[in-house]
Amino acid sequence: MDFDPSPVQRARCAEIGAAVSERFADHVTSADPESARLAWKDAADIGLTGLCLPEEYGGAGLGALDTALALEAFGRSCPDMGLVFGVAAHLLSCAVPVREFGTEAALGLLSGMAAGELIAGNAMTEDEAGSDISRIRTTATRRGGGYVLDGEKSFVSNAPIADVYVTYAVTDASAGFLGVSAFAVPRELSGVEVGPPLQKAGLQGCLAARVRFDGCEVPAEFMLGEEGSGAAIFQHSMAWERGCLFAGYLGLMERQLEECVNRVKQRRQFGRRIADFQAVSHRIARMRQRLEGARLLLYRACWLLEQGRTDVRAIALSKTAVSEAAVANSLDAMQLFGSAGYLADHGIEQQLRDCLPTTIFSGTTEIQLELIARESGL
């Protein structure tokens, strides 16, 4: 086992961190679609929108672990976790399945996706279907040389600014999991209706909305994989998302911990630094323990994925550890900053709100625990 990043990995992460710090030094999170696209352009110029896409399409051709390391550097240096999340979702839950299962027509979208010129949204979640893909109600009816999509997705990340939606629909209601198919749907097609941006507690830099398909005619060449393979494609994309996306939160936790250490060394009460109180120093120690433990689990999950070994248990362990550590550390950071942490001045309250949904999206913590239990022989 080698726990030391290679010189190439270190150099790449340092370069990304420096570029992100420079580009986003004065960045202000905005819900305005035009401003949001400008932020995406900056991320694309650094190469973040094409990390694991093939070089022939303008990507960097990185594996899962190197992609995770790059996203960790992004999360550490970027103050807008919503943007980090949005870019990672575009890359992992949308571009990856297009890369793996797209026809020639769908693959034609990859160059634009790698360059950040085409932003992608993952349109899977419905009001009655989240982790349970068998409950989706959106249908895709074969007609002529394509499919007609009808249905509504309740939460689509990047939807207000997206140019293409990777979505899932039922093509054969009698076939269960084998009756779901996947599509890459260009927004320009007739019948694609995008609702207003959803109001969220956090991740404000990632605009989200409902998306409705109303008699949307999608050419057959935009189907991903074979008809009926949607569930398998979704699970493949989730392996990459659960494995790599959460590296951005490792970066956030690293930055947060550094801010907390500086705070407790400077803040004085009762004539001494609060860092000298054991209750404070032990809280810092536990924050470090959670971060380092979660990091090891994530690196292992991504390394296995990179070796072609999609280990469901390793990915679920990683996702659970990172998400729970992110929430717990943010609560600790709030306590260490006290009333100052509750104000917007230091960004601690924003970090907490950005971390809260980690135990929900990409499969809830409860779903991950079920996967771990099942893969443990229960």
Same domain, 29 and 142: no
Q: What is the number of other CB atoms lying within 10 angstroms of the CB of residue 188?
A: 8
Q: Is residue 318 part of a domain?
A: yes
Given the residues 72, 227, 241, 254, select the one marked as catalytic: 241
Q: Which of 58, 86, 114 is the last residue of a domain?
A: 114
Q: Is residue 14 part of a domain?
A: yes
Same domain, 104 and 75: yes
Structure confidence at residue 56 (pLDDT): 96
> What is the domain-level CATH number for residue 175?
2.40.110.10
| Total number of domains constituting the chain | 3
Q: Is residue 142 part of a domain?
A: yes
Q: Is residue 235 part of a domain?
A: no
Same domain, 250 and 366: yes
Q: Cα angle at 52 between 188 and 158, to 5 degrees?
A: 35
Q: Which of 171, 203, 229 is the last residue of a domain?
A: 229
Same domain, 72 and 164: no
Domain that holds residue 109: 7-114
Same domain, 302 and 316: yes
What is the per-residue pLDDT across 141-189, written as a single tens digit (0 to 9) for each?
Answer: 999 989 999 999 999 999 999 999 999 999 999 988 899 999 999 999 9
Same domain, 182 and 273: no
Same domain, 293 and 315: yes
Q: Is residue 145 part of a domain?
A: yes
Give the residue among 303, 305, 291, 312 at the shortest CA–CA distance from 2. Answer: 303
Q: Which residues lie closer than 8 Å to 263 by C-beta, 6 or more apart? A: 336, 337
Q: Is residue 239 part of a domain?
A: no
What is the per-residue pLDDT across 339-365, written as a single tens digit (0 to 9) for each?
Answer: 999 998 889 999 999 999 999 999 999
CA Rg value for the chain: 21
Structure confidence at residue 345 (pLDDT): 84
Going through 202-305 in order, the beta strands assigned E by DSSP cover 208-219, 223-224, 268-269, 272-273
Same domain, 106 and 143: no
> What is the domain-level CATH number for residue 339?
1.20.140.10
> What is the domain-level CATH number for residue 26?
1.10.540.10
Going through 83-207 in order, the beta strands assigned E by DSSP cover 120-123, 139-143, 146-157, 164-170, 180-186, 192-194
Residue type, 332: D
Same domain, 134 and 199: yes
Low-confidence ranges of the chain (pLDDT < 70): none
Residue 115 backbone class (left: φ over 0; alpha: ψ -120 to 50; beta: rest): alpha
Same domain, 99 and 18: yes
Q: Is residue 234 part of a domain?
A: no
d(CA 65, CA 305): 8
What is the pairing mode between strands 164-170 and 120-123? parallel
Residue 241 designated active-site: yes
Same domain, 93 and 134: no
